[in-house]
Amino acid sequence: MKPGPRITPRQAGAVNAPIQHERRQVAARLAAAGCIAADLEAVELCSAAENAAALEESVARRERGEPLAWITGVTRFCGRRLRVDAGVYVPRPQSEAMAEMAADRLPPGGTAVDLCTGTGAIAHHLRHRAPGATVIAVDCDIRAVRCATRNGVAALLGDLGAALRSDSFDVVTAVAPYVPTGHLRHLPTDVRDHEPQHALHGGADGLDIVRRVIRDAGRILRPGGRLFIEIGAGQDALLGDALHEHRLTDVVSWTDADGDVRGLAATLSGERGPAMRSAVP
């Protein structure tokens, strides 16, 4: 991204109620810097800035590729406003489908844990969809734990499910890092250069952490409990052995609008399970 012409106080005017001219100017700068949704981002930046100097700083940060949510400090997930602290992985709209499926599965008064929680977006949604349930979250990054806590989530600093009791949860969710090493260079520049690598990099085939989540889920889920985990296209075919080893059966995958696999769900069983099938979890 490259900077555009500076916004002066005369040009910016009262940014708390920005007029179309200022928004168009900001949108033009963002589009020139490579932002795909420049018009929408311009509205957010103009609305969040307190004055012309703050707007100029925000636009310059976005031109350098910093995530929009880090600049505004907020994002929306499943229709709810969430705080996003700088340095914390920004939740994606594609994860909303998994959050909804997990909420549908969580029984009244049940228990759920969101591993690799980041901002706590999924745990936050589960708490609102199932107010009588016990929902906790875990992340290895203290910045994420603090951010999730500020979003009203009971968040713990830890290594996946290592500190959690066996046979304790009805639902386990995770948006673990799943980008293969060789694919990191293909990520959008703002993601690759700014977002935390530990939240993106999944090792040679992208599944190093995913397999560990599967292992932990096999221990901390109650019999009949359900795991929901986000993965990338084609990765479902690589996880059959890990799922089988940890007694996770009735495995189904879901896809996005383009037909690419976006995640899978599996149930903890006392028996070794069948091969995976594609269906709605």
pLDDT of residue 272: 40
CATH tag, 74-278: 3.40.50.150
Among 218, 225, 270, smallest CA distance to 241 is for: 218
pLDDT of residue 279: 45
For residue range 67-105, what is the model confidence (pLDDT) as tens digits?
A: 889 999 999 999 999 999 999 999 999 999 999 999 999
Share of the chain above pLDDT 70, in %: 89
For residue range 32-67, what is the model confidence (pLDDT) as tens digits?
A: 787 888 888 888 888 888 888 888 888 888 888 888
Among 211, 207, 215, smallest CA distance to 268 is for: 215
For residue range 171-210, what is the model confidence (pLDDT) as tens digits?
A: 999 999 988 887 777 777 778 777 878 887 778 898 999 9
Determine whether 163 is exposed, middle or buried from the number of CB atoms within 10 Å of its CB (0-12, 13-18, 19+): exposed
Beta-carbon neighbour count of residue 149 at 10 Å?
15
Domain boundaries, the chain: 9-65, 74-278
CA atoms within 13 A on the CB side of 277: 7
For residue range 214-257, what is the model confidence (pLDDT) as tens digits?
A: 999 999 999 999 999 999 888 999 999 999 999 999 999 999 88
